Every structure is written in structure tokens, then in C-alpha cells.
Amino acid sequence: MRLCQEYLLGIGGVRMLRALGIAPTVWHANEGHSAFLTLERIRELIQKGSKHADASEIVRQSTVFTTHTPVPAGHDVFPHHLMDRYFAGYWEQLGLSREDFLRLGDTPESQGQGFNMTALAIRLAAHVNGVSREHGQVSREMWRHLWPGLPIEQVPIRSVTNGIHAPTWIAPELSQLYSKHLGPQWAEKCDDTAMWQRVLDVPDQELWAVRQTMKRKLMSFIRERARGGWMQGELQASQVITRGTLLDPEALTIGFARRFATYKRATLLFRDLVRLKELLHNQWRPVQLIFAGKAHPADEPGRYFIHEVMRYCDDHKLGGHVAFLENYDMHMAKFLVQGVDIWLNTPRFPLEASGTSGQKAALNGVINLSVLDGWWKEGYNGANGWGIEPLVGNQDVQAQDEHDAQQLYRMLQQEAIPLYYQRDLDGIPRGWLQLMKESLRSNAPRFCTKRMVKEYVDTLYAPAMAIAPSTW
Ligand SMILES: *Cc1c(COP(=O)(O)O)cnc(C)c1O
């Protein structure tokens, strides 16, 4: 099914664009899923009279490919017998023998048995990138075998760090505040660092009041969902609590929402339950956790992580301070990235290619506390949130988890929680707001799509266009 889908996307996609009379100069394959488009374009050129080598080079020069993850499950590999079933009769049209055709998808791991879509895409795209600086480096290591003998720093895989679309993710209340202080065109000028400098002058009271409103909206959203589930007969009374109805809009709230892929380590915060309980139950400085996410249906360990988090939500000794929200989607993500105080991300280094939810949170004045991996490795500047320095060079996952969890507890206990609850006579946490403004100033202009698309144009699309006549 997957192979058929990708056949339809890649080969059917080219034919659809042709039928619509659309003639792209540059073709951008995002992930390997659409990589068959390179084959179809070679076939077209050969049909018009080109030799295979020429056609292949033209396609290469005008193709951009972005890889999005170092996690093996994120790269499709098809067995050769399936490739035979769908491509017999096609490789001749590319001027290739079966062996040469299958070699396009070879990797050292596939041992002549599997056709790797990422390998195909990299072989047939002259402009390749990963989605953060660290991921660029990881990708060069991962794919250097395609350039045997080339020193790693010369492997031609660059990086463009992901960004988020500000108008989509900004809370309406905060957008109004930005309009007032940064100008009504703030979203169009989202990558303007000088404009974001002015966020430092926004009065603390105004920013804090808006943030409190956003947080109350999240709590109402959660309560109304639970109420709906209860009224529909989908939730038992006790489940109404585990869905977050005891959450307190005054308490420091930590959000963790993403796919429950195991490398994201959703349960890291529960590693030392005694220590966690101390934080959650502190009478004067309570902390609460909101989890949301889905696991891939075939990802058994990922699903187990969700069960484990659910078990903590169900545990009455945790007092309703831990909630799990089901059916995570973009609508729910908006409330979460806008409404919590701290955004937590604890991936196992170096597997988080970029991560974008933390960027959404940062734009909304939420503070990031995350492992220094993906985007946060380049976003963290020492004064705009908290960065967990991962344990590198030790392959023992238990040791990694222990090391990262200890830092996480320490940062919460000694830095984040005291700062959040340190209020002046007006009840305003001045230090927290300073951190928030520094996070906005430094992150908002860098991790938005405006900056990202400009970089794609400058470093990938323009070079690909320079050598591509407009006819292909
Ligand atoms: C932003 C977002 C993601 C991606 O978040 P990561 O930080 O990259 O894991 C996934 N799902 C939804 C619904 C999102 O809004």
C-alpha cells in the first residue's frame, strides 16, 4: 500500500502537474515519499530523446531534497520483489537494467535486498538539506557512504532549520499586543530582528495579563472537552479528572505534547517519582503537567509510553496534577502551545531532527526547557530558557536517561519554579517576564517560516534554478 501511495504521489504527481500545464523549474521532494518523481522526470527526458546520463544529470541539478529525521523508521525501504512488481517495464524506459535501477535505492544496510527512498532521493538531487544545523551534521554522517572517500565536512548535505508559520500559531490576544507594540504588520515582518528588539519595551503588566488570559483559555478548553466526554458517556467520572479538570490556572504548568515516538522519552520526568511528587504537591509553589499525543498504531513501545503516562494520571496520589489529553491535533496543539508556562521536550540526542512545537510555544511567550538537540541546540542562548546538555559518547541509554533526568529536576527545582513564583507587590513575576521577553526577542525572528523560506530560496532553490533551463 505504501509503495502504491508513493508511486501515485511521485509518478502520478509529475503527470498531474503536466496535465495542469504546470512546468516547475525546480522540484522539491520533502522526505523520500515523493522521490519517484525523479524517475518519472528522467523517463520524460529520455522519451524526448535524451541519453540516460544526461537526463539523470538534468534532473539531479534541478531537484532539491529535504530529509527530516535520522530515525530509521522514518525512511521507507521497499523489498526488491515489490519493486519488481510495480517497476518491471519501467526501468527500460529509463534506459536502465534491473540491477542498475535497483542500485539507485541501495544502502550498506539493505545488502542488495531493499530499495531505500532516501538513498534514491539523495542520488538524484544535487541540493540536499537537513532541518537544523545538528541534523545537517547527523545526516552527513548517516549518508556519507553515498560519497565514498569524501571527508565528512565535504559531504554535500547542508541544513535549513525549520520554522513555524506565525499567523497560524499565535494566540489572538497576543497578536493584538504585538500589533500594538511592534506594529500591525508584525506577522509579515516576523523575521525582522530589529522589530523583535522592541518586545523588551512591552510593559510587564500587559504581557503578563495577556499570558494569564491565554492560560485560562487552555484550562477552559480542557474542562469543556472533559465535560463533553462525560456528557456523551465516553468518560467515567474518574476519567474526567485524568483529563485535567482539577488543573489550576494559577499553578506553574508544564506542557508536553507530541507524537509518542519512543526517542522523545515522554516518561523521563517520572523517573524519580518521589522527587516529582515533591514538586507537584508543594503547597505554595505547585506544579502541574499536561501531556498530549498519539503513537503510531504499529509502534508498540510508543503506545506503552502513553499507557504509562495514563497510569500516572490515574494515580490519585498525584492529585490530579497530571493530565493526559487524547486526540492531539493542530487545534489542541494551539491551545497547548499558547496556554502553558513551560514547554518540555526531552528527546534522546541526536534524534530530534528539528522539533517545531517548541518554536510555536516560544512565539507565544512560553519558556522552553528542553534537551539541546534539533532547533533548541541553536536557539538556546543561555538567557532565553533552559537547555539540558545531553550525555554524548555514552551508548548506555539508562545512563543517558539518568543524566538528562537529573538535570531536568535540578533546573525545575532550583531555577524554573522559584523564578515563576517570585512575585513583586503587584503579583507580577518580573524575572519570569524578563526571560519571556528574551525568549521572544531571540527566538521569534529566527524560527519562523519567513526566515526559513528565504533561506531555502537563497541556498537551495536559486542554485538549482541557476542551471535549470525553464523547460524542464
Ligand atoms: C507542531 C506539531 C507537531 C510537531 O511537533 P514536534 O515538536 O516537532 O514534535 C506534531 N503534531 C502537531 C499536532 C503539531 O501541532
* pLDDT tens digits along 291-303: 999 998 889 999 9
Taking the centre of ligand 1 as the mean of its atom positions, its distance from the CA of residue 95, in whole angstroms, is 42
Q: What are the tens digits of pLDDT across the range 365-407?
A: 999 999 999 999 999 999 999 999 999 888 899 999 999 999 9
Average pLDDT (13-30) is: 97
Closest ligand 1 atom to 328 CA: 13
Using the atom order of ligand 1, give the atom closest to the CA of residue 164. 1
Cβ-based neighbour number of residue 36 at 10 Å:
27
pLDDT at 361: 98
pTM of the model: 0.96
Nearest Cα residue to atom 2 of ligand 1: 357
Q: Report how far apart, in Å, the C-alpha atoms of 230 and of each of 227, 233, 254, 306 are.
A: 5, 5, 25, 21
Q: How many other C-beta atoms are found inside a 10 Å radius of the C-beta of residue 23?
A: 10
Q: How confident is the model at residue 152 (pLDDT cuts 50, 70, 90)?
A: very high
Q: Does domain 2-162+454-471 have CATH number 3.30.70.2190?
A: no
Task: Tell which one of 170, 258, 329, 449 to mutate to probe ligand 1, the residue whose CB is within 8 A of the most ligand atoms.
Answer: 258
- Neighbouring residues of 396: CB distance < 8 A, sequence distance ≥ 6: none
Which residue in this structure is represented by grid cell 529566527? Answer: 446
258 C-alpha vs ligand 1 centroid, how far in Å?
A: 5
Mean pLDDT of 245-252: 97
Share of the chain above pLDDT 90, in %: 95
- Residues 207-245: pLDDT tens digits? 999 999 999 999 999 999 999 999 999 999 999 999 999
52 phi and psi angles, rounded to 5 deg: -55, -50
Residue with the nearest Cα to atom 6 of ligand 1?
Answer: 355
Residue with cell 520524460: 44
What is the domain class of 166-447 according to CATH? alpha beta
Instruction: Tell me how far the alpha carbon of residue 105 lies from the centroid of ligand 1, in angstroms.
Output: 29
pLDDT at residue 243 in the model: 97
Omega before residue 350 within 30° of 0, cis: yes
Distance 80 CA to ligand 1 centre (A): 33
Characterize 195-228 residue by residue with b for buried, 16 or more Cβ atoms within 10 angstroms of its Cβ, and e for exposed: bbeebeebebeebbebbebbbebbbebbbebbee
Name the closest-CA residue to atom 8, ligand 1.
355
Q: Residue 111: its pLDDT value, please?
A: 81
**Nearest CA-CA partner of 332 in 367, 297, 292:** 292
Radius of gyration of the chain (CA): 25
C-alpha cell at 223: 474542562
Look at residue 335 and tell me whether its pLDDT is greater than 90.
yes
- pLDDT of 472 > 70? The answer is no
Burial 244-271 (b: 16+ CB within 10 A, else e): bbebeeebbbbbbbbebbbbbbbbbbbb
Q: What is the pLDDT of residues 63-85, one digit of tens each?
A: 999 999 999 889 999 999 999 99
Closest atom of ligand 1 to 360 CA is 1
Asked whether the predicted pLDDT for residue 470 surpasses 80, the reply is no
Residue minimizing CA distance to atom 10 of ligand 1: 258
Which band of pLDDT confidence, cut at 50, 70 and 90, is reported for residue 468? low
Q: Which of 71, 132, 135, 259 has the most ligand 1 atoms within 8 A of CB, as the residue to mutate?
A: 259
pLDDT for position 394: 81
pLDDT band at residue 282, thresholds of 50, 70 and 90? Answer: very high
| Cα 68 to ligand 1 centroid, rounded to whole Å | 13
CB 258 within 8 A of CB 356: no
Q: What's the gap in Å between 167 CA and the centre of ligand 1?
A: 16
Relative to the CA of 330, which ligand 1 atom is closest?
Answer: 13
pLDDT for 393 equals 83
Say whether pLDDT at 322 is over 80.
Answer: yes
Tell me, in angstroms, the distance from the centre of ligand 1 to residue 359's CA: 10
- What per-residue confidence (pLDDT) applies to 204? 98
Residue 369 grid cell: 526547557
Of residues 468 and 415, more confidently modeled? 415
Give the pLDDT of residue 469: 59
Which of 283, 293, 287 lies closest to 248 in space, CA to CA?
Answer: 287
Instruction: Give the mean pLDDT of 432-441.
Output: 98
* CA of residue 259 to ligand 1 center, whole Å: 7
Residue ranges lining ligand 1, Cβ < 6 Å: 258, 328-330, 333, 355-358, 360
Output the CA 296–ligand 1 centroid distance in Å: 14
Q: Provide the pairing of β-strand 63-66 with 77-79.
A: unpaired
Residue ranges covered by each domain of the chain: 2-162+454-471, 166-447
Q: Does residue 169 have a pLDDT over 90?
A: yes
C-alpha cell recorded at residue 132: 537544523
What pLDDT does residue 309 have? Answer: 97
Q: Residue 307's pLDDT band (boundaries 50, 70, 90)?
A: very high
Q: Mutation test of ligand 1: which of 330, 346, 369 has the most ligand atoms closer than 8 Å to its C-beta?
A: 330
Count of C-beta atoms within a 10 Å radius of residue 317 = 9
Q: What percent of the chain has pLDDT over 70?
A: 99
- Is residue 170 within 8 A of residue 187, CB to CB? The reply is yes
Q: CATH topology of 2-162+454-471 equal to that of 166-447?
A: yes
Q: Is the pLDDT reported for residue 471 higher than 70?
A: no
**What local confidence, expressed as pLDDT, does residue 110 receive?**
85
Higher pLDDT pick, 431 / 109? 431
